[in-house]
Amino acid sequence: NDGYKLWLDYQPIEESQLKSEVGSLLDGVYFFGENPTFEAIKNELDLASKSMLGKAPIYSKERLQNTKLWIGTRDQLSQVLSLDQQAEIKALGEDGYWRGTVELDGKSFYAIVGNQPVGTLYGVYNWLNSIQSNTFDKSTELVDAPKIKLRMLNHWDNLDRTVERGYAGFSIWDWHRLPGYIDPRYIDYARANASIGINAVSLTNVNANALIMTTDFMKKAKALADVFRPYGIKVFLTARFSAPIQLEGLKTADPLDPEVIAFWKKKADEIYSFIPDFGGFLVKANSEGQPGPHEYGRNHAEGANMLADALAPHGGVLIWRAFVYSHEDEVDRHMQANNEFEPLDGKFKDNVIIQIKNGAIDFQPREPFHPLYGAINETNVGMEFQITQEYLGQATNLVYLAPMWEEVLKSKTYKPSANSTVGSILEGKETGQKMTLIAGVSNIGTDRNWTGHLFAQSNWFAFGKMAWNPEVTSEEIAEEWTKLTFGQDSEVVSKVGEILLESHETAVDYMTPLGLHHIMGRSHHYGPGPWVMGGRADWTAPYYHQADSLGIGFDRTADGSGALTQYAPEIVEKWSDPNQIPEKFLLWFHHLPWDYQLKDGNTLWEGIAYHYDRGVKEVRQMQQTWASLESKIDPEEFDHVRQLLEIQEEEAEWWRNSCLLYFQTFSKRPFPADIEQPEGDLEYYKSLRFPNAPGI
């Protein structure tokens, strides 16, 4: 098994009651009506049935005779569903579905019903999933509906097929052969996304290339949109703010200039002529050198609203990123997004969403939630997670990210109300926001298994599940993914679950424990680089760790940079006190002496050393756990993960040795005697260069 089939590999079912029950349902499938989404469902049922049961489904032409399984929409089934059932389904909204048994004239039928065809598709995937994980029970009714409207992948794919921060090969979009050639992989991609509820994709890098707005590329994007449509997936593109200058030779890209306004309106009209259900634009502006409204003395709202107006007549959405910071600004980078966006709250058009990263710095192994959550409440906000592991071991480290996302989603913001959490804000519960969004930076590429590391598939999977329901736990998702990927064996399920659930804390331990951050290698972010100096201050490591002879950590309290004061008073009060702040965020907000006493009685210096050392030991534990499953895992998959875990062990040691030897030059203290003594020479670690590190 090379992993290509992802969680949709539909393992054969052993002889059992489940097998005969499912077999009998698939012997009489009736579709209420025809449409492209139902064709997609048929395709999935064919694949699943052949693989799980060894036979093709039988489709009946008549809804009563020889029929067991009904598939359709609420409208289509209105004559056979009770009024109560119809009301229940209607309440689920556009993407919701119901599945259960319906009695008619003394016969019972199993029905999968969505309000729209795409809801039916989600219901079918959920049903197939319950069969694979052996939880299908015909007598229980099941309803489900997403809590977030736009569940979106952001590809950082360039038009030359390189992928920014991509670690799984090249871009799966073969722009050169599009629109004429439809790679079958596009369909498998759409199936995988639909099966976990993802319903939007932005195809191109946020560091955008204006060429995507040319007619030729629009035709290529249209070809992809046509493939994705039956699967309920909308296409978005990244818009480069300077496109009017680059493509049309205008003198300016000023958002208030009539010619600029006309340019974008014309572009939007043209895109919609190719893709009538086009999602909209995703924009990175005035960040890391990208063009934007600031060049013309305009603010983010003026820039975003101009593009939003161009999309509005077509029902499009403008997603504007809050990832902004400038090195001319002397202020702590942590504070810059709030400084720029809080004054603009309420000034954005209704079809604008501000897409905010989970934390204020940049997808670190662990970050406290971004202080913009709860701070702007008259503007639509959406989440940006990073599925690709830019700062989390890239393609070689096994790190299940769902616990990190769960931690952020469950964080209490105390704003706008006492019980607000990041998740409740995103769901629109706090402000009544209707257009809700959770986006994730994709980890997909041309590698046969899509994600480079087999276990990185779990992150794509978990992202979809959490975007659908931000209240689900990482533990539930881990179990589901494991069963779908490796089967039902209880030892496998529990041991893989252990590996998954401990992997994030493990990575934090050997990379950035106790709130340390941004100490990775320069620009490629591969491996440790706590010594990285030179150039922009906020691109150096000492800017973030602030180690000196007295101690370590970034003082962001009111006495320091003041970034902490951007949070709600409840948080400010607690986190300002090093004894009350959760230790996982200690050095994120405090500069503390090397002998500062931690909760377990160790000094800060000892604590740092123990965390790094534990991280390495935890990786070895993961190796052992994996090794114990050898007889139960497909040999190809087993060996793939075994080899990568070996690399991960070496990299964890590299992290530990580098960081501890480096920080020791400031702390001037010995390592605790009971840790594995960091070996090697700091100069050696500093001299390592990785000119071809991927994904830059």
Catalytic site positions: 288, 362, 390
Q: Does 538 bind ligand BDP (CB under 6 A)?
A: no
Per-position x/- string for 263-292, each x denoting binding to ligand BDP as judged by CB under 6 A, each - no binding: ---------------------x---x----
Strands (E), 514-665: 551-552, 592-593
Size of the site for ligand BDP (CB under 6 A): 10
Tokens 């029929």 found at: 67
The answer to whether the bond into 57 is cis (omega within 30° of 0) is no
Query: Residue 128 or 441: which CB sits closer to ligand BDP?
Result: 441
The CB-of-696 to ligand BDP minimum distance in angstroms stands at 7
Cβ proximity to ligand BDP: between 259 and 288 the closer is 288
Query: Which amino acid, residue 568?
Result: A
Verify binding: residue 164, ligand BDP, rule CB under 6 A.
yes
Residue 207 makes contact with ligand BDP by CB under 6 A: yes
Query: Cα separation of 379 and 361, whole Å?
Result: 21
- Beta carbons of 312 and 272 less than 8 angstroms apart: no
Minimum Å gap between C-beta 659 and ligand BDP is: 20
Rounded to a whole number of angstroms, the minimum distance from the CB of residue 205 to ligand BDP is 8
391-392-393-399 Cα dihedral, nearest 10 degrees: -170
Is the Cβ of residue 363 or residue 638 nearer to ligand BDP in the bound state?
363
Q: Which of 30, 70, 341, 363 binds ligand BDP (CB under 6 A)?
A: 363
Q: Report the site for ligand BDP in 182-201 (rule: CB under 6 A).
A: none
- Determine how many CB atoms are found less than 10 A away from the CB of residue 470: 25
Cα torsion 103, 106, 110, 111: sign: negative
Q: Name the residue among 545, 650, 526 with its Cα closest to residue 587.
A: 545
Q: Figure out which of the listed residues 362, 489, 538, 583 binds ligand BDP, where binding follows CB under 6 A.
A: 362
What string of DSSP letters covers 181-205? ---HHHHHHHHHHHHTT--EEE-S-
Please report whether residue 323 would count as binding ligand BDP according to CB under 6 A: yes
- Considering the complex, state which of residue 88 and residue 362 has its C-beta at the smaller distance from ligand BDP: 362
Beta bridge partners, 151, equal 438
Tell me the closest approach of the beta carbon of residue 105 to ligand BDP, in angstroms.
59
Q: Which residues pair with 31 in a beta bridge?
A: 71
Cβ–Cβ under 8 Å, residues 635 and 642: no
User: Do 438 and 148 touch, CB atoms closer than 8 A?
Assistant: yes
Residue in the block written with tokens 């994705």: 228
Q: Which is nearer to ligand BDP, 513 or 521 (CB)?
A: 521
CB of 31 to ligand BDP, least distance (A): 43
Q: Closest approach of Cβ 203 to ligand BDP, in Å? A: 16
Cβ-based nearer residue to ligand BDP, 524 or 656: 524
Q: Which is nearer to ligand BDP, 206 or 310 (CB)?
A: 206
Interface residue with ligand BDP among 95, 367, 390, 447 (CB under 6 A) is 390
From the list 81, 66, 159, the residue with the least C-alpha distance to 115 is 81
Helix (H) or strand (E) holding 114: strand 107-114
Burial (CB < 10 A; 0-12, 13-18, 19+), residue 362, is middle
555: contact with ligand BDP by CB under 6 A: no
**Residue from 99, 165, 333, 495 binding ligand BDP (CB under 6 A):** 165
CB 305 within 8 A of CB 264: no
Nearest to 372 by CA among 334, 410, 329: 334
CA distance 90 to 96: 8
Please identify which residue in 206, 285, 532, 659 interacts with ligand BDP, judged by CB under 6 A: 206
Query: CB of 409: closest distance to ligand BDP in angstroms?
Result: 20
Query: Which residues, numbered 417-446, are part of the site for ligand BDP (CB under 6 A)?
Result: none
Closest residue to ligand BDP using C-beta atoms: 362
CB nearer to ligand BDP: pick between 205 and 623: 205
CB of 610 to ligand BDP, least distance (A): 29
- Residue 351 burial by Cβ neighbours in a 10 Å radius (0-12, 13-18, 19+): buried
The reply on whether position 141 binds ligand BDP by CB under 6 A is no
**List of residues contacting ligand BDP (CB under 6 A):** 164-165, 206-207, 284, 288, 323, 362-363, 390
